[in-house]
Amino acid sequence: MSAAQHFAYTIHYALVRANYNRQLLATKKHVGRATFKSYELYNRHGNDVLLEALLIGLDEGDVVVDVGANTGTYTLAAAATEPTAEVVAIEPNADVVSQLRANIEVNDFGDRVDLLDCGLGGTDGTREFHLSSYDELGSFSPDHASAWEARVVDTETVSVRRLDSLVEDGTVSPPDHLKIDVEGFGLNVLRGSKTVLREHRPTVYFELHDARGSHDEAVAKSLLRDVGYNLVPVREGWVCEPPSKTETVQSV
């Protein structure tokens, strides 16, 4: 990345933060047949193939779990597309959670979206989360939080849950759609979701990130295939189609 590009990114994120902090301007965004408002300065994910696939497959009463919700493009688009859907937005970055909450409120989606301010992983507990100078790159992986000339600006301890635990204790309903975009931590999310994948068969929308440090999400392909999923490569990652819910798949 050139110095000019880095400067442009820095200015962009400063303006975005100011817009959220003062809640100055929430403009209409469009994704597929969905229209909603957000305080983002541009139509983020407006041409996102994974998001379009989710919206095409979304039916009445479906449960959508948005892991790594960030400021909520997937969450807002799903809630706007299907008002009867139950959308669960999961985001561990406290600053970003406040931005996500502002977007939920400006759309009056409080009755459609449940917001959980935690991370998902392979175990229940706590973990160090690395805040990035580029807000959307915040990650449990410091190497991903400092990608694209960004830098780690702070580290905080956050709660981490397994999706299996959240479903088992009734905090989250069994999902029909599971979106995972967690900046290099996707394999960990899948490891904590094996029971959900085997028993409830959600369609998985997995955003693949470059291998950095100790994180290589390419291994996630084997896990998904071991529980019987078919992976359809798209520009941003994989749409992972489940087998029949009645099909028995060997545990991994």
pLDDT tens by residue, 129-188: 998 877 777 788 787 777 767 788 889 999 999 999 999 999 999 999 999 999 889 999
Interatomic CA distance for residues 25 and 51, integer angstroms: 24
pLDDT tens by residue, 13-39: 788 889 898 999 999 999 988 999 999
Find the angle CA(27)-CA(30)-CA(35) to the nearest 5 degrees. 80
In this prediction, residue 146 carries a pLDDT of: 74
Share of the chain above pLDDT 90, in %: 67
The residue ranges of every structural domain in the chain are 3-241
Interatomic CA distance for residues 54 and 73, integer angstroms: 12
In this prediction, residue 2 carries a pLDDT of: 66
Interatomic CA distance for residues 160 and 177, integer angstroms: 20
184, exposed or middle or buried, with CB in 10 Å at 0-12, 13-18, 19+? buried
- Entry pTM: 0.91
217 pLDDT tier (thresholds 50, 70, 90): confident
Q: Which fold has domain 3-241?
A: Rossmann fold (3.40.50)
